[in-house]
A and B are shown apart, each in its own frame.
Chain A
Amino acid sequence: MILVLVEQDGGQPSRSSLEAVTAARRLAVAAGVPLEAVLFGAGASGAAAALGAYGVSSAHVVEHARLDAYAPAAWGRSVAELVKAGSPSIVVAVGSDRGQEVLAYAAAMLDAPMAANCVEVRPGELFEVVRQRWGGSLLEEARLDGPVRLLTIAEHATQLEEAAAPSVVAVAPFTPTLSDADLRVRVVARVAPEAGKVSLADARVVVGGGRGVGGSEAFGELEELAALLHGAVGVSRVVTSAGWRPHSQQVGQTGTRIAPDIYIACGISGAIQHIVGCKAAKAILVINTDREAPIMSRAAYAVIGDLHTVVPAISAEIRRRQAS
């Protein structure tokens, strides 16, 4: 049996969890074993039923009187208990905040290893994985041993694919034995997102600024262009480290991963940590004085020149066409 952790909200499995389910099903089909899921929270039964399309045969819906909010150690304990009860050969989650955290707890509780952000899994006599290092700019081939293998699947690395033959999911409640210690850390409050703001992660257009912008004041030019394109401003790590812009605007390994239709990268050289944050963009337009900047090799389009001249000219051209 292979066990997959599925995150859900209001009865809908998260998209990235379905990536993990897709990856887990391929392993289950190859090994000829059933695929089971574990889910938490209100709406879990509804989300579980929807997993039949992805080949899940049975789902454990965790229910506990004291488990009313996200509690990482308690979720980890629940997964660890399901492992002891059902002896899966592999436990899979998506490499989201919660996926990494819950599997790390389960692995530690089971005294088993865990491999984070895998992009390929090769079960066999020597169980090998290919996993991301440096946020995905480097790959590591590694062996994973132990009575049970726990691994997370890197987000956005698997195309969603439904099962050839959908299954009917047998949904059953599961009540773990939780100690006080398992429940010490839990979400005590949630702060809702700011209304009406274009979020960097979801923006269709991102106008990015790097060292070449030169200072905090000069970002007005990028903001103007972003506003004209109904997009968001993103920045490189140099910019947030210098305090020119807040960290919430950082694109990269230690910031936000973006996936816009176009990323307009202004004065950005393209350190690998920045590239892993923007490589999901459908197209990159580089505005840079340096033809040899590393980011050029990722670009679909380029303008050679000073961003302080080029960016205002683009804004002016957009306005001119809108006025005519």
Chain B
Amino acid sequence: MNVLVCVKRVPETGGRVTLTADARDIDTRYLGFTVSPHEECAAEEAVRLIEANGGSSTVLTLGPEAASDQLRAAMAIGIDRAILLETDGQDWDPVATAAAIVAAIQAEAAAGVSYDLLLFGNEAADSGDFQVGIRVALALGLPCISGVKSLEINDGVATARREAGGGWDVFEVPLPAVVAVREGINLPRYPSVPGRLRAKKKEIERIVPTAPAAGLTGPAKIRLRLPAETEGRVEVLGTGAEAAPAVVDVLVRIGILSA
């Protein structure tokens, strides 16, 4: 089988976030970058499916040249091919992103490469648009299952589960299909040293996507801001084991334990 996995490069944020002077972006001067968590699991899932069923996997991203790092990270765990839809680093809205991915998949098809499964993350960690996979599926006439935390492929049929009210909803579709996964579907492996070295030597295919036409297509970012926080004062109950009685007093006071 042939699997395509679409990923996004996002900053690795820690305990605090600061914004750039124009408030259009996160200040990433002191931050590393990573693959958005759901998509890291999508890449792992692609590698596992190919290990189990044979075939080939391809990773695709829309982003700046620096997103090559994230494509190589995917190849380091076993993805075979990488495609970079290279931008100047500006955010593309979800409508424009989906259109660029659709165009790339159609170009692949014209060159004789077809995919049985398109894997996405359920939503990107940064923009959280919840729609790129669905837009791509509709444009290509494919079924799409979102929010997936368990996926099995048997005889060309995908069986997927997603959490619903403490239990699970089960979906089933014949391939080809789009599946948008969530973290927890698997535990991504760490890349091996030989894997990293192999990925370093591999070529990345580059395509310059057609920029979105003037005018708005999706939500158009004006600026970012940090939510207002009411920072209360912390009451230090003590140090080490000696604080235990004070902790239990608090648990009694707020009604967790009876006096």
Binding site for B on A (CB under 8 A): 70, 72-73, 95, 97, 100-101, 104-105, 107-109, 113-117, 128-129, 131-146, 152, 181, 184-194, 199, 201, 204-205, 229, 237, 240-241, 243, 247-248, 250, 253-255, 261-262, 269-273, 282-283, 285-286, 293-306, 309-310, 312-314, 316-318, 321
Which residue of the partner chain A has the closest CB to B160?
A: A185
Q: Count residues on chain B whose CB falls below 8 Å from chain A CBs.
A: 84
Contact B38 A193 (CB under 8 A): no
Contact A306 B240 (CB under 8 A): yes
Question: How far does the alpha carbon of A303 sit from the alpha carbon of B236 in the complex, in Å?
Answer: 6
Given the known inter-chain contacts A286-B234, A301-B237, please indicate yes or no for A139 contacting B225, CB distance below 8 A: yes
What are the residues of chain A within 8 A of B236 when measuring CB–CB?
Answer: 301-304
User: Is B21 an interface position by the 8 A CB rule?
Assistant: no
Name 15 interchain pairs, CB-CB below 8 A, sorted by A: A73-B144, A100-B146, A116-B123, A138-B224, A140-B221, A142-B222, A143-B216, A190-B164, A229-B251, A229-B257, A253-B125, A303-B240, A304-B239, A310-B244, A314-B247
Given the known inter-chain contacts A190-B168, A193-B167, A321-B248, please indicate yes or no for A247 contacting B183, CB distance below 8 A: yes
Question: How far does the alpha carbon of A285 sit from the alpha carbon of B164 in the complex, in Å?
Answer: 30
What are the residues of chain B within 8 A of A134 when measuring CB–CB?
Answer: 13, 17, 125-126, 128
Contact A316 B138 (CB under 8 A): no
Which residue of the partner chain B has the closest CB to A303?
A: B243
Contact B138 A108 (CB under 8 A): yes
Within 8 A of A (CB), among B185-225: 187-188, 215-225
User: Is B69 an interface position by the 8 A CB rule?
Assistant: no
Contact A254 B183 (CB under 8 A): yes
* Main secondary structure on A side of the interface with B: mixed
Contact B219 A283 (CB under 8 A): no
Contact B168 A271 (CB under 8 A): no
CB distance from A14 to the nearest CB of B (A): 10
Within 8 A of A (CB), among B228-253: 229, 231-232, 234-248, 250-251
Binding site for A on B (CB under 8 A): 13-17, 26, 37-38, 93-95, 123, 125-131, 134-135, 138-139, 141, 143-147, 149, 161-162, 164-173, 182-184, 187-188, 215-227, 229, 231-232, 234-248, 250-251, 254-257
Within the complex, which residue of A137, A193, A301, A316 is in contact with B250, where a contact is CB–CB below 8 Å?
Answer: A301
Question: How far does the alpha carbon of A133 sit from the alpha carbon of B220 in the complex, in Å?
Answer: 13
Contact B128 A117 (CB under 8 A): yes
Which residue of the partner chain B has the closest CB to A135?
A: B128
Contact B219 A133 (CB under 8 A): no
